[in-house]
Amino acid sequence: MQNYAIIQTGGKQYRVSPGDVVDVDKLTAEVGSTVELNDVLFVSNDDKVTIGTPKVEGAKVIATVEWEGRGEKITVFRYKSKVRQRRKTGHRQPYTRLTIKEIVLKGERSSRGRRAKAEVKENGS
């Protein structure tokens, strides 16, 4: 069974797995930086399922910011018949593209943290 989590960001919910690429509403992070998403509502890890009330305590999703930009332009046209009232506007939603690295539960050690500590020891010796 595949590991996945349901996260909430920007008022929307997303189902994510390690390796997924997802476009979310714009976040305040630079391209190439690592982001921790703490609003985890549900986690499925092998055969173990954890449901939050409303959030899973201590769970987080680690992702990397790949891109920031704007979506396609949508046209908004308001019209009232018989009174010659028309208004045409457009909108482009800003997005941040995230690549999901891993899902970490409370009590589990992050493989990312172990690697970082190993690199510090190697460089410090």
> Rounded distance, CA 9 to CA 61, Å?
11
Residue spans per domain, the chain: 4-124
Give 45's pLDDT tier (boundaries 50, 70, 90). confident
> Rounded distance, CA 29 to CA 91, Å?
23
> Rounded distance, CA 73 to CA 90, Å?
6
Phi first, then psi, for residue 114 (nearest 5°) are -65, -40
**Residue the block writes with tokens 């305040």:** 28
Give 110's pLDDT tier (boundaries 50, 70, 90). low
Mean pLDDT score, 6-34 = 95
In this prediction the pTM is: 0.76
Q: pLDDT per residue over 53-109, tens digit each?
A: 999 999 999 999 999 999 999 999 999 999 999 999 999 999 999 999 999 988 776
Pairing relation of β-strands 21-25 and 40-45?
A: unpaired
